[in-house]
Structure 1
Amino acid sequence: SKGLDKAVEPVSLPVIAEHDLMSSPDVPLAILKRKLQKTNDVDAVVGYLNEIHAHLQVRELLGNTMRKIVEHVVEDKEEVQDYLDERSDLTQYNCYKTAVRHYKKHCFNWHEQKFEYALRHL
């Protein structure tokens, strides 16, 4: 049959020397930082700095909110930071699912780009 008689030549791809990988919640901030680095326009610099500042304020708000939630739930206040720093295995899926729905509905809807970073705290 046509086209099947000839072997396809393998494609050589360039070697990637520097991996610039990041998680998706970090992408908007990285884009703003790159735009800031590339511009010489003072007004654009001010605009990008304001956007970066607003983005970082939202991150801080998300972190502080999760801290308050953990402080409210955890009995031993000395363990709060451990709960915030560590990832635990999910054993109570239904409870987790209910908590996540509540967090999304009443705290931060991560479908809005500015709150996408909220996923980091779940």
Structure 2
Amino acid sequence: MDSVPGSDVPVAILQKQISSSKSPEEKARLENKLSELMLARELIRGSMLQVVKKATYSPEQAKRVQKPDTTGHMCKAYKEVVEYYRVMCYNWHEPKYKSALQHFHMLANLCEENIPVERIKSAIDECKGKKDGRSRP
């Protein structure tokens, strides 16, 4: 048995279930489930990168924000933007969107860069519109 990072456990479980499935129907159902999970992961990653791009003031700042180093997880602003992202974009309490958690260091880093909460929320709103197929006026 190989060790798997916690965020990849759902993928590993589905892959194992696919390889040991008994019927073509079961295999197809599981492959579809895996495909949906991978698509959700990519959507979340893309949305978070868009939030960073829109909220930051320069490409250099955006690169800094994407680095995993952070200490800002305890500040009030961080908690506010994380909750806003959950409500407006992807609710990580749903198993399909659990991978959103691995990108929250970027929200903490936005806060550490002293980017105003309202600017971050505005960036989230813009990305949410794209997720829903809507555009902001």
Decide: shared fold, TM above 0.5.
Answer: yes
Partner of 1:93: 75
- 2:96 aligns with 114
Structure 1 alignment gaps of length 5 or more: 1-17
Match of 2:29 among 34, 38, 47: 47
Q: Tell which structure's C-alpha radius of gyration is larger.
A: 1
* Alpha-carbon offset, residue 61 of structure 1: 0.4
Q: 1:59 to 1:97 in 2, by over 3 A?
A: same
Gaps of 5+ in 2: 105-137
Counterpart in the other structure of 2:115:
none
Relative to 1, partners in 2 of residues 1:94 and 1:44: Cα closer, same or farther, differing over 3 Å?
same
Tell me the secondary structure at the aligned position of residue 64 of structure 1: helix
* Structure 2 counterparts to residues 19-34 of structure 1, below 5 A: 20-23=3-6, 25-34=7-16
| Higher RCO structure (Cα 8 Å, ≥6 apart) | 2
| Greater shift in the superposed pair: 40-49 or 94-103 | 40-49
Q: How many residues align?
A: 104
Identity of aligned residues (%): 25
Matched residue type, 1:77: P
Matched residues in 2 for 1:81 and 1:48: separation?
Answer: 36
Contact 2:4 2:12 in 1 (8 A): no
Q: Deviations over 1:83-104 (max 9, x none)?
A: 2243222177011111111111
Whole-angstrom CA distance in 1 between matches of 2:30 and 2:64: 35
More helix per residue: 1 or 2?
2
Aligned-pair CA distance for 1:21: 4.3
TM-score of the aligned structures, taking structure 2 as reference length = 0.67
The match for 2:124 is: none
